[in-house]
Amino acid sequence: MPNILLTRIDNRLIHGQVAVTWSNHVGANLILVANDRVANDEIQQSLMDMAVSDAMETRYFTIQETIDKIHYAADYQKIVLVVETPQDALKLVKGGVPIKKINIGNMHYSEGKRQIAKTVSVDEADIETFKELDKLGVELEIKRVPDEKGQNIMDLI
């Protein structure tokens, strides 16, 4: 069983909050980004690695690679799993990745979305995805930083 300490939806993927604040808070030593675009973009990977300390490992897998490889994680790997969208999180859950709780950090506003929290904006597809994750028994908490009081997204959508 992979040692996933935190699963986070954050459209910025790796940045200071993930690389330092959350990773230190949960005691992680590996940040795994599950994202089809970034898995094949070495420039983006290099830019994100700049936010990470030398003591932290990073991996950049496609969604399918994550599903295929996560169960081979070593016991010593304490993982922060980061995805860009709720749809990616749902694919992982349906693919057998053992995710019981998702931290929703940042989902930026764009055309067609409505803001439901300070850093979270959703459209109808996002809402339907969160409802499906909820039905699958995944806890869904909006929480930017560890010392902030979390809020169940289902109370807001």
Active-site residue list? 15
Helix (H) or strand (E) segment spanning residue 90 = helix 86-94
CA-CA distance, 58 to 10, in Å (whole number)? 16
Structure tokens at 128: 């339907």
Q: What is the DSSP string of 4-60?
A: EEEEEEETT-SSHIIIIIIHHHHT-SEEEEE-TTGGG-HHHHHHHHTTS-TT-EEEE
Per the CB < 8 A criterion, the answer to whether 21 and 145 are in contact is yes
C-alpha torsion sign, points 140, 3, 98, 14: positive
